[in-house]
Structure 1
Amino acid sequence: MKVREIVEALERLAPPALAESWDNSGLTVGDPDGEVRRIVVTLDVTEGTLEYAAAMEAELVVAHHPLIFGKLSAIRADDPVGRLVMKAVRSGIAVYGMHTNLDNAPGGMNDELADRLGMMDRRPLVPLSGAYKVAVTVPDEHAEAVMNAMFDAGAGKMGHYDRCAFKTEGEGTFRPLAGAHPFVGQRETTARVPEEKLEALVDRAHLDGVLAVLAKAHPYEHPAVDVIELFRQKTDLGTGRVGRIVPIQGGEFLPWLKEKLDLPYVRVCGDLPQWVEKVAVLGGSGASYILAAARSGADVYVTGDVKHHDALLAKELSLPVVDAGHYGLEKHGVDWLIRGLQNTLNELQYNQVEILVDAAGMDPFYLG
């Protein structure tokens, strides 16, 4: 199996379009056409990770955090990131990162946390806007094939429904000029063709894929496609999750949380209410969303990397915040990655690819 095939499978689970603009998810090191027999899954790419991968003769590392975050102007052995890049290249190991696209994807990092908390009636803490309506005119006899291709690529999903679309009948006109290669009609002659206009909603994550398959399935050289952004349309995509749990007394919440998320300890800012029922959670660094958590009406906000002034803001907002640590929350994303990757390989019947876990030393902190 090739690196690019595994990348395509991973990007179906967490489309790159869901990544934040500052992120650098994707294949950062390696040959897309390289063969893969073993994959190492990890939270971070470290020297230990690459040494383990090389010892196990793995050809690909799949990490939550990208190996390269910022712009590299040089790759040098005396630079920490450059040294890792050089080590991966020398060992013939490709490195793929899926970061904020995994965080924002339905069923991804934050849904994994919500599942572990038994969260009901959940929604994104900060939804992604940017649903689109895609409309295209197609000759009658090809309309069904084009529509099915769009559906298969993710168009037409609305809540608990799929394959939703609207069709209208009409007549298309065009005149092929010199150099054209018309599917129907003759050059320099106006053609009139019975056509159907197909319209379907597409979320941000699937837009590029839908447009690509539409162009491939459409018989015309230059299909007439409208892409209209629906600014007020919200989707089930977004950062963090907020929802209800089975009500629990405030004094019992922290032991319950540590058990559910396998946490040895947490830091807490603010007094927990008598009862906790509505919880907001965001894996990784979620301090910048404290205001959003307060506005959501959450009884408590669970996240990581909360700084001193963030805690002061939370107290001013009367929002109890539990800092479970960056690793403490995102280690569950590694569990999701392993399951998702294994299920995908099983579906594709690539049983010859082995998945290994870099479990040692992923948490950089210890209690002194």
Structure 2
Amino acid sequence: MPATSPNSPAPAVADVVAALDTAYPRELAESWDAVGLVCGDPADRVDRVLVCVDPVAATVDEALELGAQLIVAHHPLLLRGVHGVPADTSKGSLVHRMIREGVALFCAHTNADSASPGVSDALAAVIGLDVQRPLVPHVDGADTGLGRIAVLPEPEPFAAFVDRVGAALPATAPGVYGAGDADRLIRTVAVSGGAGDGFLDTATAAGVDAYVTADLRHHPAGEHLEQPGAVPALVGLTHWASEWPWCGQAADVIGQAGNVEVHVSTRCTDPWNVRANGSTK
């Protein structure tokens, strides 16, 4: 979907990077994170971009099939200390393949989580929530930060809310699951794209009715629900599904860089792909 006239020139990688850096400032990234351009020449022209959650073999395949010159991913390819990228390793082989094929890779991770709008805004939007404020505000005191506190237009039973979340997100083999009283009315909701059980106490302190996040672990979730008094009901997602809505948001940002086609990846890169009954995603 070109953002400008077909006669306007294709932007350079650097132009797309500039648009992404404006929307997702790198200073918002956590200190341990690795964001920005991983490989590629900033001067190269780009007429087609693929946006995805994970920079893995499946999405690199998809980019090459589309003829994309740039992949914009949420998760970093090289997050921890790296001392080499030999082609006989899984990540090294992707780097070599992208360089050989002239495909650049840009990653926006925790800076996209904290930006406004960011990953959790996109998650809230597809669920049909009206965002009020960050769950964990950034130190600058603006409307940036991790997670979001939001409200439903009208209260609804928890069981219906879990169905709402499931219908809003792409299907995965594990699906969407809830923990709480099925009849409890839900109006206020905290959401956090990605692994968010570290914010269970924060969601409880915010007084919300439900908390939607990914990678909920048995013990933290169980201990949360056993607390005395009212605590948020929980809606669990897979990590990939919780962050996939951001791809559409990022695609809109990239479209502002010039005459470029932007494609959102249609390939599920969630690692869980087989259920016990034999069904697959």
TM score, norm. by length of structure 2 = 0.85
- Give the drift of 1:259: 2.3
C-alpha distance after superposition, 1:42-81 (max 9, x if no partner):
1111123223323433221111112111121111123221
Q: Which residue among 214, 239, 257 is the counterpart of 1:326?
A: 239
Aligned to 1:359: 266
Structure 1, 281-290 or 116-125: larger mean CA deviation: 116-125
- Give the drift of 1:300: 1.0
SS at match of 1:66: coil
Structure 1, 267-276 or 8-17: larger mean CA deviation: 267-276
Aligned residues: 259
Aligned to 1:76: 86
Q: Which residue among 75, 84, 87 is the counterpart of 2:97?
A: 87
SS at match of 1:323: strand
Distance 2:60 2:180 in 1: 41
- Give the drift of 1:97: 0.6
Aligned to 1:259: 167
The one-letter code matched in structure 1 to 2:77 is: L
Alignment of 1:112-151 (within 5 A): 112-120=122-130, 122-130=132-140
Distance 1:116 1:262 in 2: 11
TM score, norm. by length of structure 1 = 0.66
Q: Which residue among 182, 188, 197 is the counterpart of 1:278?
A: 188
The one-letter code matched in structure 2 to 1:362 is: T
2:54 is the counterpart of 1:41: no
SS at match of 1:235: coil
Structure 1, 34-43 or 95-104: larger mean CA deviation: 34-43
Whether contact under 8 Å (1:29, 1:85) holds in the other structure is: yes
More relative contact order, 1 or 2 (CA 8 Å, 6+ apart): 2
Distance 1:319 1:354 in 2: 41
Distance 2:192 2:217 in 1: 15
Whether contact under 8 Å (1:282, 1:303) holds in the other structure is: yes
Distance 1:325 1:70 in 2: 22
Root mean square deviation of aligned Cα: 1.9
Alignment of 1:284-303 (within 5 A): 284-303=194-213
Whether contact under 8 Å (2:158, 2:180) holds in the other structure is: no
Whether contact under 8 Å (1:305, 1:325) holds in the other structure is: yes
- For structure 1, list consecutive stretches of 5 or more residues without a partner in the other structure: 131-233
Q: Closer, same or farther in 2 for the Cα pair 1:48/1:272, shift >3 Å?
A: same
Distance 1:84 1:262 in 2: 26
Whether contact under 8 Å (2:162, 2:178) holds in the other structure is: no
Aligned to 2:151: 244
Q: Closer, same or farther in 2 for the Cα pair 1:292/1:272, shift >3 Å?
A: farther
Aligned to 1:145: none
Q: Closer, same or farther in 2 for the Cα pair 1:101/1:306, shift >3 Å?
A: same
- Give the drift of 1:362: 2.6
Q: Closer, same or farther in 2 for the Cα pair 1:292/1:366, shift >3 Å?
A: same
Distance 1:255 1:54 in 2: 36
Alignment of 1:147-296 (within 5 A): 234-245=141-152, 246-263=154-171, 265-272=175-182, 274-296=184-206
Distance 2:242 2:222 in 1: 22
Structure of greater Rg: 1
The one-letter code matched in structure 2 to 1:244 is: V
Q: Closer, same or farther in 2 for the Cα pair 1:290/1:109, shift >3 Å?
A: same
